[in-house]
Structure 1
Amino acid sequence: MPGLTNTAAAARKPDMSALAALVDSDLKRVNALILDRMQSPVALIPQLAGHIIAAGGKRLRPMLTLAAAKLVGYRGERHLALSAAVEFIHTATLLHDDVVDASDLRRGLATANAVWGNKPSVLVGDFLFSRAFQLMVEDGSLEVLRILSNASAIIAEGEVLQLVTANDLSTTEEAYLQVIGAKTAVLFAAASQIGAVVAERPEEEVQALARFGQSLGMAFQLVDDMLDFSAREAELGKAVGDDFRDGKMTLPIVLALKAADETERAFWHRTLEEQNQTDADLEHAIGLLRKHGTLEATRERARFYAEDAAAALSIFPDQPIRRALLDVVEFCLQRGY
């Protein structure tokens, strides 16, 4: 992978530790701001918001904003509040997604909707979206507002498109890529490019970081969808096979359908279109994906996007933050959860 691997790098397992160390002081301030801005006199709001925010995740999206700003030499502080806005947008979508998917687990913990119910989860998600927009308005940049509000609208479109394509065996690879480009990659792109926007960098650098984020997000989601059929539940932090049980048309299934014989197609019709599933069906589905090599094919698609993300960073000089971002690309590709 261009700019990604060398003998030393190949000898170790990629992770996010270098990036985390480089943005640590900024990220601490962002986390403090997140905690401050999720407060409300309505006690249920900080309780529920705190549950999902404290459940963690690696704060990858706000870290991309912090890293992009560092990469282009930004010396101000606007990126801090905007990183918090990015995390609020992401967290709001998680709350809404868990309701739509009727999920009980996220990152190994009970989802907010499993604890408090659907109505509070949806409404607190709305609150976090609103907080994100307050932070954008306080920043005062119409360009930043344009980028993040556009991303928010596209995320919603992607989620609706995923709902429309669910249980539909005619879903194409192109339609699937459109879904993940909207629901996942667009926020990676926005988070990355605003780091250069606040630094008032040339358009070439803004677009390079947008391309980096978009391709990284595509790779991230492709691997995520592959792991739904191949990870252990303890690693994945949610029930393995959730996508299959929900009838989501992810790439491993789309590719398996293209290669399916009549008997296999009848199986997919029963389990996905009719949602008539037995306890043994997930293992059979995984067997079909392995038979046709669609899990590995999905990872190869992810590698294509990972290589593009790495290539997008080539216009920036070699420095620790650039190398750390390349590590993140490889981590997203090779992660087991």
Structure 2
Amino acid sequence: MSIELVKSATSADMQAVDQLIRSRLHSDVVLVRQVAEYIVSSGGKRLRPVLVLLSAGALGYQGQHHHELAAVVEFIHTATLLHDDVVDESSLRRGRDTANALFGNAASVLVGDFLYSRAFQMMVSVNDMRVMQVLADATNIIAEGEVLQLMNIGDADLDEAAYLRVIRYKTAKLFEAAARLGALLVKADAATEDAMARFGMHLGTAFQIVDDVLDYTGDAGEIGKNLGDDLAEGKCTLPLIHAMRLGTAEQAEVVRQAITHAQRDNFPAVLAAVQGSGALDAALEAARDEARLALEAIAMLPSNIHSDALRALTGLAVDRTS
């Protein structure tokens, strides 16, 4: 029922957003069109544009700018995916070959740049300096998060606070911006704007923690990426942090060595350590805590189809298998 509620609250608006995305992907350069169309049409949950639409609707927005901003947010997200896959040397995303695997790293990076710049062109059309500030700041912080994550590669001593800092920069910041945009469109007061931003931040944090859990529980076909990718890249995610904290000395050492040496070959032993130490339950509890904080942030919203869908979205972000 939750997913049906979200779909019914956004289906008409998402059709408009999808049409806008298609039209704004146009470029006279054939390779730009090919790569951009490939990545945008590859599926995905479209959570970030949905969050723009629901936030605006929950606050009673009447207009069309939420379509433009939903597309902007999706373009920014898509650009980060293109760049991420190059940095991570990923070959699979959403169950398909990554753009860099098909078109090469250079094309992926440059088309990512095209999408960023197209997003900023679209922002201008809304003619709201505060909107531009929020999205420009978010884009900058996302880039900082990417660099932070790169600096943390192979660091088995990373603690939970440092991990949370990375995902709040890298992932949750765009969720935060998407939710804040709804408040900006209705010229809401500062308290409401802050509440919507906190909702988005906690929702995005919960979403990323669950993503990191799925690297050790999911089916590769269902979640659309290779299991153990994070481990192969030497990323110390929350399940691994908890496995080293909660597991036996032997389990902790297995995990530590795998992170330090970016060992996918040892994935079965790491998987056993993560699953046998209680690390997954601890990580999921952290995600649920974030979801609770997200719901608390929007407790003041009146009940309507959009605010009810926001609450449903919070549950969907945590209770999922892909």
Same fold (TM over 0.5): yes
For the residue of structure 2 that corresponds to 1:23, the secondary structure is: helix
For the residue of structure 2 that corresponds to 1:16, the secondary structure is: helix
Aligned to 1:289: 274
Aligned to 2:109: 122
State how far apart, in whole Å, the 2-side matches of 1:196 and 1:171 are: 35
Whether the 8 Å contact between 2:232 and 2:263 is mirrored in structure 1 is no
1:117-266 counterparts in 2 under 5 A? 117-266=104-253
- Residues 215-263 of structure 1, C-alpha deviations (whole Å, 9 max, x = no match): 0000000000000011011111001111111111100111222245554
State how far apart, in whole Å, the 2-side matches of 1:158 and 1:17 are: 33
Number of paired residues?
Answer: 322
Whether the 8 Å contact between 2:248 and 2:277 is mirrored in structure 1 is no
User: Which 10-residue stretch deviates more, 194-203 or 214-223?
Assistant: 194-203
Aligned AA for 2:316? F
Whether the 8 Å contact between 2:229 and 2:264 is mirrored in structure 1 is no
State how far apart, in whole Å, the 2-side matches of 1:256 and 1:48 are: 39
State how far apart, in whole Å, the 1-side matches of 2:185 and 2:148 are: 32
For the residue of structure 2 that corresponds to 1:57, the secondary structure is: coil
Closer, same or farther: CA 77–257 of 1 in aligned 2, 3 Å: same
- Offset at residue 77 of structure 1 (A): 1.1
Whether the 8 Å contact between 2:156 and 2:260 is mirrored in structure 1 is yes
**Which of 39, 51, 66 is the matching residue for 2:38?**
51
**TM-score of the pair, normalised by structure 2:** 0.97
Q: Which ranges in structure 2 are unaligned for 5 or more consecutive residues?
A: none
Whether the 8 Å contact between 1:233 and 1:240 is mirrored in structure 2 is yes
Aligned to 1:6: none
Aligned AA for 2:269? H
State how far apart, in whole Å, the 2-side matches of 1:251 and 1:122 are: 28
Whether the 8 Å contact between 1:219 and 1:305 is mirrored in structure 2 is yes
- Residues 70-114 of structure 1, C-alpha deviations (whole Å, 9 max, x = no match): 111111111111111100000000000111111111110111011
Measured on the aligned residues, the alpha-carbon RMSD in Å equals: 1.3
Aligned AA for 2:160? E
State how far apart, in whole Å, the 1-side matches of 2:108 and 2:189 are: 40
- Offset at residue 283 of structure 1 (A): 1.3
State how far apart, in whole Å, the 2-side matches of 1:251 and 1:276 are: 17
For the residue of structure 2 that corresponds to 1:39, the secondary structure is: coil
Closer, same or farther: CA 294–203 of 1 in aligned 2, 3 Å: same
Whether the 8 Å contact between 2:258 and 2:270 is mirrored in structure 1 is no
Q: Percent identity?
A: 43
Whether the 8 Å contact between 1:270 and 1:277 is mirrored in structure 2 is no
Aligned AA for 1:197? L
Aligned AA for 1:298? A
State how far apart, in whole Å, the 2-side matches of 1:45 and 1:200 are: 36
For the residue of structure 1 that corresponds to 2:299, the secondary structure is: helix
Aligned to 2:295: 310
State how far apart, in whole Å, the 2-side matches of 1:226 and 1:269 are: 17
**TM-score of the pair, normalised by structure 1:** 0.93
Aligned AA for 1:46? R
Whether the 8 Å contact between 2:222 and 2:321 is mirrored in structure 1 is yes
State how far apart, in whole Å, the 2-side matches of 1:85 and 1:273 are: 37
Closer, same or farther: CA 52–15 of 1 in aligned 2, 3 Å: farther
Aligned to 2:93: 106
State how far apart, in whole Å, the 2-side matches of 1:128 and 1:242 are: 25
State how far apart, in whole Å, the 2-side matches of 1:276 and 1:173 are: 21
